Amino acid sequence: MLLIFMSSDKSLGQRPEWIKAKACDSSQFEHTHNVIKSNGLRTVCEEALCPNICKCWTNKSATFLIMGDVCTRTCGFCNIKSGCPSEPDLSESDRIVKAVSDLELKYVVVTSVTRDDLPDGGASRFASVISSIKKSLPDTKVEVLVPDFKEDGDAVRSVISAGPDVFAHNIEVVKKLHSKVKGFPSDYDMSLRVLKMAKEMLEGIITKTGLIVGVGETDSDVLNAIEDVAANNVNILTIGQYLTPTTYHYPIARYVTVEEFSAYARYGEKLGINVIAGPLVRSSYNAVEAYEQACHWK
């Protein structure tokens, strides 16, 4: 049995029932775990303490984390380690293909730590993973969740040219809090430009972004962010509650209600965006369903 632990914010009191941690006991969960570990792979599900790991792994779904588990940036909300990463493992693509095959996945999400130390920000590694999956498992859809590549057009083009089915990059936080929560060199407007760039490079590509709430924003701030996403022709938006990994991370300012999340979703959908919003929603939550819905809307 796995018990997911998520630290509490004492200043806000006990967490609401709708975001309580859940226990997991499933043979399929163990199978997913064993496949990932036997292939020497990492997942953001574990590294970022995702609250949906039980549900996703039981359903044979996982978000693979490439290029190590050390990030070159320090974001106040993130549980992934920061520091000086090691060189990327060039065999990683083959091992991901094997894991995808072992798990019989028809939809794969691949993300990474941010690698500002690499000349292309790691774009070539994303391209390699996409190409390897497409070559060996042509019926499998691939979603990539990439860093901003410091707005390097060649890096974005390298990823797009490999043929992902979904190109995702998260704005993460509303504009007025972006520099405070994420910090330099991350930039809200730059993230939107990267998403727009991808859309312009390949007609028909589905783009996706994610937003966390509960860090001090107002409803108006969230609605403005949704408008910005729509203005840049992004197809899919995820909105979820921020849950601080430890007491050393950026503090939670509020718990957003289920009703508020529903209102955000309705607003986005009026603007033509497929919105997945809820307390435990994360970037790759219900990724297959979001992709299929976006395809239907196109």
Residues 6+ apart with CB under 8 A from 250: 76, 77, 181, 215, 242, 244
Q: What are the tens digits of pLDDT across the range 150-207?
A: 999 999 999 999 999 999 999 999 999 999 998 889 999 999 999 999 999 998 999 9
The pLDDT value recorded for residue 7 is 45
What CATH code is carried by the domain that includes residue 122? 3.20.20.70
The pLDDT value recorded for residue 21 is 55
The answer as to whether 12 is a domain residue is no
The answer as to whether 141 is a domain residue is yes
> Angle 197-68-70 (CA atoms, 0-180°, nearest 5)?
90
Low-confidence ranges of the chain (pLDDT < 50): 1-8
The pLDDT value recorded for residue 62 is 74
The answer as to whether 74 is a domain residue is yes
The pLDDT value recorded for residue 50 is 67
Residues 6+ apart with CB under 8 A from 276: 236, 237, 238, 239, 265, 285, 286, 289, 290
CA distances to 18, 79, 260, 277 from 263, rounded to whole Å, are 17, 29, 5, 9
The answer as to whether 14 is a domain residue is no
The answer as to whether 241 is a domain residue is yes
The answer as to whether 119 is a domain residue is yes
The pLDDT value recorded for residue 56 is 72
The pLDDT value recorded for residue 9 is 59
The answer as to whether 108 is a domain residue is yes
Q: How many domains does the chain have?
A: 1
The answer as to whether 13 is a domain residue is no
Query: Would you say 280 and 213 are in contact if contact means Cβ atoms under 8 Å apart?
Result: no
The pLDDT value recorded for residue 1 is 33
Domain with 153 in it: 2-7+19-297
The pLDDT value recorded for residue 11 is 56
The pLDDT value recorded for residue 5 is 37
